[in-house]
């Protein structure tokens, strides 16, 4: 096995990356970059009914969207390809023949109905279902007779009657007792490998040193360990990371909302924020800080700080963290990031300078970029529409009309409405009406934006300009 660290991310192309898979890819990539090793992308597409080229392409897009570049794999090439399992079938068949020749594998002619009946009998007895081994001792003549009967044959691995132990980098020493597994299939009747067989062969031939994956694979590992030992290969180090739960502490699923990476990308969650947030679902910085640059994540990532317990996907925390990253965007980058969402809203956009001024006003109020259309709506409409909360507040305000009329009386005293001029007007309105605090500012905010809450008002008023501010307040008075 190679001395340099080599890790792999091996998704099945059956759709966009799920958040759990994305987190696995991120931890593999961070560890490879931390170790000066290689990050390999392998496509496990032997599920011919569900695998599609469209899904494979979407996986590439999802990874590139997170800025996770792979060193070897489809489109990148490398010395250990091909990197799609569908292109490696002859390799798997070679090692299946090797298992048969050594007596560690055998043909199994059991039908699905027979296997299901075995399973049901075990369940009724309260036993862990596993294959009985009924085809283990078939003679060559008996096998030939079954073929003449038209029965298709899979190839099973002959599981040794011994305990299996391995050291997991998160969970420590794990031991599985003898007879915990029945003889399992390595090649299906149609000539396609099973996951446990193909993964072992690929990881060995691609010189993978660390297998970092979800802990739903823990029970696969002893099967793979037996396979490594039987084939005389060195076993890689295993690291099983905890599953992700929804806020109700059940396994994360569609009923919790968005679960695929593209859904978050399409809402305007930034790549660096997603990488930061998802890495912290299993790991924490020694500093205790949570907003970490990609460089710091690479520098500080350590298996010793990976958690054993499941991680909770907290959307509120993700929104906060993404908002931090949005506020750090320079004006040009913010403009380019927001432009698709403003164009999708169908707004008649002003020049770049004005647009940058508008975005600077709302920047600190964005949790994700899709919100920019709603937050800037006031700028693009001729007549402000009140939110339900704003309409209720207006109906209950006794001071609003006094504030509006006082503001309209003061406005002509200023040739242009700068931020400072707006503040002076509000001071005068306060003195003239005696209205202060929320009762003073809320009516003006509602008139200019239609909402109860939002960015600072002075820059909004300055950007809208004297005539638009007058018109908005006059309209609501009317």
Q: Are 277 and 318 in contact (CB under 8 A)?
A: yes
Q: Phi/psi of residue 31, each to 5°?
A: -65, -40
Active site residue 254: yes
Please tell me the total number of residues recorded for the chain in this structure: 478
Contacts of 362 (CB under 8 A, 6+ apart): 372, 375, 376, 454, 455
Q: Are 129 and 158 in contact (CB under 8 A)?
A: no
Q: Phi/psi of residue 8, each to 5°?
A: -135, 150
Contacts of 99 (CB under 8 A, 6+ apart): 105, 155, 157, 186, 230
Over the Cα atoms of the chain, what is R_g?
Answer: 31
- How far apart, in Å, do the first and last CA atoms of the chain sit? 80
Spatial distance between the Cα atoms of 463 and 418, rounded to a whole number of angstroms: 8
DSSP annotation of 304 reads G
Spatial distance between the Cα atoms of 205 and 181, rounded to a whole number of angstroms: 26
Q: Closest Cα partner for 166 from 241, 236, 243, 242? A: 236
For residues 313-325, b (16+ Cβ closer than 10 Å) or e, as one string?
Answer: beeeebbebbbeb
Residue of 57, 67, 94, 254 marked catalytic: 254
Q: Which residues are catalytic?
A: 254
């Amino acid at each position: 096995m190679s001395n340099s660290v080599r890790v792999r991310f091996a998704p099945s192309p059956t759709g966009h990356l799920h958040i759990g898979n994305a987190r696995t890819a991120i931890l593999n990539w961070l560890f490879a970059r931390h170790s000066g090793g290689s990050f390999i992308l392998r496509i496990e597409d032997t599920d011919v009914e569900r695998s599609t080229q469209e899904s494979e392409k979407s996986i590439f897009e999802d990874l590139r969207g997170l800025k996770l570049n792979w060193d070897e794999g489809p489109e990148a090439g490398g010395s250990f390809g091909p990197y799609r399992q569908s292109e490696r079938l002859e390799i798997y068949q070679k090692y299946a023949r090797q298992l048969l020749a050594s007596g560690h594998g055998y043909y199994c002619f059991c039908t699905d109905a027979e296997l299901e009946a075995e399973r049901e009998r075990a369940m009724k007895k309260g036993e862990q279902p596993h294959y009985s081994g009924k085809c283990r001792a078939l003679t060559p003549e008996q096998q030939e007779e079954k073929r003449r009967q038209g029965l298709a044959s899979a190839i099973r691995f002959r599981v040794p009657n011994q305990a299996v132990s391995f050291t997991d980098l998160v969970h420590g020493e794990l031991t599985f007792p003898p007879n915990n597994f029945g003889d399992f299939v390595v090649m299906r009747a149609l000539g396609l490998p099973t996951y446990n067989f193909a993964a072992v062969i690929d990881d060995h031939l691609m010189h993978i040193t660390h297998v970092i994956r979800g802990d739903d694979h823990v029970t696969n590992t002893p099967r793979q360990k037996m396979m490594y030992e039987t084939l005389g290969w060195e076993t890689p180090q295993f690291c099983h990371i905890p599953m992700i739960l929804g806020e109700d502490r059940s396994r994360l699923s569609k009923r919790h909302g968005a679960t695929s990476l593209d859904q978050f990308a399409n809402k305007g969650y930034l790549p660096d924020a997603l990488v930061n947030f998802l890495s912290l679902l299993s790991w924490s910085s020694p500093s205790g800080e949570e907003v970490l640059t990609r460089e710091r994540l690479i520098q500080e990532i350590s298996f010793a700080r990976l958690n054993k317990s499941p991680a909770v996907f907290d959307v509120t925390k993700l929104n906060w963290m993404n908002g931090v990253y949005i506020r750090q965007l320079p004006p040009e980058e913010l403009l380019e990031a927001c432009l698709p969402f403003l164009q999708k809203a169908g707004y008649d956009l002003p020049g770049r300078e004005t647009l940058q001024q508008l975005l600077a006003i709302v920047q600190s109020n964005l949790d994700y970029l899709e919100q920019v259309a709603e937050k800037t709506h006031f700028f693009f409409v001729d007549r402000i529409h009140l939110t339900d909360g704003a309409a209720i507040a207006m109906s209950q305000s006794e001071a609003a009309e006094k504030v509006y009329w006082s503001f309209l009386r003061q406005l002509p005293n200023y040739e242009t409405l700068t931020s400072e001029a707006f503040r002076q007007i509000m001071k005068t309105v306060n003195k003239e009406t005696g209205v202060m605090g929320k009762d003073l500012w809320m009516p003006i905010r509602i008139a200019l934006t239609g909402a109860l809450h939002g960015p600072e008002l002075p820059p909004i008023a300055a950007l809208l300009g004297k005539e638009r501010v007058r018109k908005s307040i006059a309209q609501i008075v009317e």
